[in-house]
């Protein structure tokens, strides 16, 4: 291998390592690109019929989207906010009830022990921190010292206990609360750091969405500059296919999320579940991630149903299952005529790999990145290299 190829290989490896170390920023930027392409589709339609510049058409589409969101907020904003507040108060109590129920069963204790080993913190650690009962010292009982040394040992034990009692008497009444205060401050600091980091990533997503949506041609030309002249037509066609496929994938996701949110809210309202709108909205938002999202979206509702009794749990399970079945068998077939359908086995494996390697932000972009990989393989390898006729996913 020549030195030039070795240098290029080294640069590629270093670049991949940098991308892996900063994957959250790249994931946030990729989400911004996805949202921008979702806006560019309607903007192209507006530009064709209204004959206005691309940036003005995109701005008009953004204003329409903001108006729709404002209308939804005006209609359901007040009950949604109150239900979210109610949910935030009831979920901790429901979680505590589940932990108490598990602690009464051997298999539940084993499950909690494994969770404690994985997280390094017991579920009851904060509650038991101020409940440290004084136990008798084992040295004061049944000593194995010889008879002639026993009085001296007893005297030393009494002096040590007397010193400890004096120190306890001199200690302030709130002294035992200092560890818990430190733990609370540490938790608050960690929560603030996490909120700041996620807020910055969300800002990256919004800025990338805004800039790419207003002028996508700049970034397309930047990619074409890196491609040899004889391959520019193929690169342009590949990028157009990627944009169209990802746009249709986003449309399919938005339709699916809306359907799951509406069906879940109606079903939970019909069975008398508290906070049905908030639970339905949460279920719809989490269903952005296929397969994993619906399971996570059903967890808060089932926890809250446990506080209402076993029949409410059974009814909530039925609601979530029926909502998924209706979405999968009635809504998805209609959307899949135009949207993107991915093999389920490949999708699940990709999601778990990204979840284990990159966490939440990687899981959010696992599916669209798989879509990008499939389109590139089908277009550049199967069609152009192998010369095999194949229909690119998302083609209409």
DSSP 306-354: HTT-HHHHHHHHHHHHHHHHHIIIIIHHHHHTTS----HHHHHHHHHHH
Mean pLDDT by 10 residues, the chain (396 residues): 77 85 88 86 78 78 86 82 81 79 76 67 47 42 44 48 47 47 64 78 89 85 86 88 86 86 92 89 87 85 84 91 84 65 80 83 86 88 83 69
Gyration radius of the chain over CA positions: 30
Q: Domain containing 221: what range?
A: 3-115+198-383
Q: Following DSSP, what letter does each residue of 300-314 receive, concatenated?
A: HHHHHHHTT-HHHHH
Any domain includes 219:
yes
| Predicted local distance difference test score (pLDDT) of residue 382 | 87
Q: How far is CA 146 from CA 136, 153, 155, in A?
A: 22, 10, 14
Secondary structure of residue 82 in the 3-state scheme: helix
- Reading the block at residue 72, the tokens are 């939804």
Any domain includes 396:
no
| Predicted local distance difference test score (pLDDT) of residue 145 | 45
Any domain includes 131:
no
Rounded Cα distance, 27 and 35, in Å: 13
CB 240 within 8 A of CB 395: no
| Predicted local distance difference test score (pLDDT) of residue 318 | 93
Any domain includes 253:
yes
Any domain includes 370:
yes
Any domain includes 378:
yes
Structural domain tally of the chain? Answer: 1
Any domain includes 391:
no
């Amino acid at each position: 291998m020549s030195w030039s190829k070795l240098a290029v290989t080294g640069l590629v490896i270093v670049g991949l390592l940098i991308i892996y170390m900063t994957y959250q920023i790249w994931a946030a930027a990729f989400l911004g690109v996805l949202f921008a392409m979702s806006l560019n589709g309607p903007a192209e339609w507006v530009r064709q019929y209204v004959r206005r510049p691309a940036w003005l058409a995109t701005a008009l589409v953004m204003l329409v989207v903001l108006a729709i969101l404002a209308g939804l907020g005006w209609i359901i904003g007040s009950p949604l906010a109150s239900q979210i507040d109610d949910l935030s108060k009831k979920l901790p109590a429901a979680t505590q009830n589940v932990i108490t129920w598990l602690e009464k069963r051997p298999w539940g204790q084993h499950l909690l022990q494994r969770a404690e080993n994985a997280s390094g913190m017991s579920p009851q650690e904060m509650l038991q921190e101020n409940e440290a009962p004084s136990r008798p010292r084992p040295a004061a009982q049944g000593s194995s010292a010889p008879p002639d040394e026993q009085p001296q040992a007893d005297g030393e034990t009494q002096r040590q206990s007397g010193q400890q009692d004096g120190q306890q008497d001199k200690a302030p009444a709130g002294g035992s609360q200092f560890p818990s205060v430190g733990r609370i401050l540490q938790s608050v600091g960690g929560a603030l750091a996490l909120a700041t980091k996620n807020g910055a990533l969300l800002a990256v997503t919004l800025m990338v969405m805004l800039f790419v949506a207003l002028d996508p041609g700049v970034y397309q030309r930047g990619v074409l500059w890196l491609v040899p002249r004889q391959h520019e037509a193929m690169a342009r066609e590949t990028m157009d296919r990627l944009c169209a496929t990802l746009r249709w994938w986003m449309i399919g996701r938005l339709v699916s999320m809306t359907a799951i949110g509406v069906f879940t809210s109606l079903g939970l309202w019909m069975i008398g579940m508290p906070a049905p709108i908030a639970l339905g909205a949460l279920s719809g938002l989490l269903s952005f991630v296929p397969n994993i999202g619906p399971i996570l979206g059903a967890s808060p509702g089932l926890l809250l149903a446990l506080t209402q009794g076993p029949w409410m749990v059974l009814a909530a399970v039925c609601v979530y299952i029926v909502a998924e079945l209706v979405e999968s068998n009635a809504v998805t077939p209609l959307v899949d005529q135009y949207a993107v359908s991915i093999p389920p086995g490949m999708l699940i494996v990709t999601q778990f790999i990204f979840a284990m390697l990159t966490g939440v932000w990687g899981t959010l972009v696992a599916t669209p990145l798989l879509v990008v990989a499939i389109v590139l393989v089908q277009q550049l390898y199967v069609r152009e290299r192998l010369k095999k006729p194949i229909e690119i996913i998302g083609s209409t």
